[in-house]
Amino acid sequence: MADVNLQTGLLLKVCGTLVLGSAIVWVVRRFRMRPREPVPKDVVVHHQPSRGPFAPSLTPFSLKLETFLRMANVPYTNVHDSFKNRSSKGKMTWIEYNGEEIADSELCIDYIKDKFQVDVNSDYRPEQLASGFMVQKMVEDHLYWTLILYRYVYEGALRLSAYRSFSFLFRYMAKWKVLKDSKAHGIGRHSTKKFLLGEQPSQVDCSVFGMLSQFYWHGFGDPTEEAIKKFPNLCQYCERMKTEFWPDWDKCITHGESGQTVK
């Protein structure tokens, strides 16, 4: 009985230390935030984490949203602060527009479409868009879990740590959260079309590209990177989207270093 009480007490101390450590990290990050430069009126402020080593973001939803902003030719500016400054809903990918806050990449896109009256899907029929929507849901609701399970659970973020300075506490908490949240994962197919639905890009391409980019450029040698390289059409698709919407790609990545980027 004494052993049980001792183990329980030790476990409570460990949990308490983790909670206290998380609180301290949160407070320190909040106080270290630098004042932001004023943003011009009618410009979208895109909050996201810092740039990735080989693709513009390690977060597929940030890359999805920024690709859409480029596709829709909407004026925007990036603020790489969301590790320290998440939205009121706890999202790492979010926007501000004239003082209004919108969280979640899909809600951001809907807001931008309505506010700027843009339609990047006008080349496609409703039935084609329905097919694209199904692929988007499969990618974001299932394939996403393959990405984060390998990155943060199976590999424990160790490969990623070669390019990002992650503390033991961060790796532990990330692994715990992914295990808690993950339910299922899957993988889809892509045809030989230039873009997902046909010869012109659409909104769903932003989602698919955002996700596939993580496997293609940010696989860090795990089995997911090996898997996508077996499908040349998927690799060509990633390169095509990069060429079409990211002519400044090399200025938006850290090239494997943890330093600053131009944009």
pLDDT digits (tens, 9 = 90+) for 190-226: 456 799 999 999 999 999 999 999 999 998 887 878 8
**Is 232 a domain residue?**
yes
The pLDDT score that the predictor gives to residue 160 is: 55
**Is 15 a domain residue?**
yes
Higher-scoring residue by pLDDT: 88, 13: 88
Half-sphere exposure of 252 (CA within 13 A, CB side): 20
Percent of the chain with pLDDT over 70: 68
Higher-scoring residue by pLDDT: 18, 55: 55
H or E segment to which residue 45 belongs: strand 44-47
Task: Residue 241: name the closest of 78, 63, 52 by CA.
Answer: 63
Does 22 share its domain with 137? no
**Is 206 a domain residue?**
yes
**Is 4 a domain residue?**
yes
List pLDDT tens digits, range 156-173.
555 555 555 555 555 545
The pLDDT score that the predictor gives to residue 220 is: 81
DSSP-derived secondary structure for 82-123: TTT---TT--SSEEEETTEEEESHHHHHHHHHHHHT--TTTT
Count of domains in the chain? 2
Q: How far apart are CA 178 and CA 60, in angstroms?
A: 15
Residue tagged 């390019």 (tokens)? 163
**Is 65 a domain residue?**
no
Mean pLDDT of the chain: 78
Averaging pLDDT over each range in 28-32, 72-76, 82-86, 221-225, which range is the top one? 72-76
Q: Quick count: other Cβ atoms within 10 Å of Cβ 56?
A: 26
Q: How far apart are CA 238 and CA 210, in angstroms?
A: 9
**Is 86 a domain residue?**
no
Q: Report the first-to-last Cα separation within the chain, whole angstroms.
A: 60
Domain limits at 181? 126-251
**Is 99 a domain residue?**
no
The pLDDT score that the predictor gives to residue 154 is: 61
Residue tagged 């939205």 (tokens)? 87
**Is 174 a domain residue?**
yes
Task: Residue 222: name the closest of 233, 214, 210, 231 by CA.
Answer: 214
List pLDDT tens digits, range 16-36.
544 444 544 444 444 444 455
Q: Is the dihedral of CA 176, 174, 77, 255 positive or negative?
A: negative
Strands across the sheet with 100-103, in order? 76-79, 44-47, 94-97, 100-103
H or E segment to which residue 70 belongs: helix 60-71
Does 28 share its domain with 134? no
R_g of the chain, CA atoms, integer Å: 20
Q: Are 227 and 216 in contact (CB under 8 A)?
A: no
Does 135 share its domain with 237? yes
The pLDDT score that the predictor gives to residue 263 is: 73
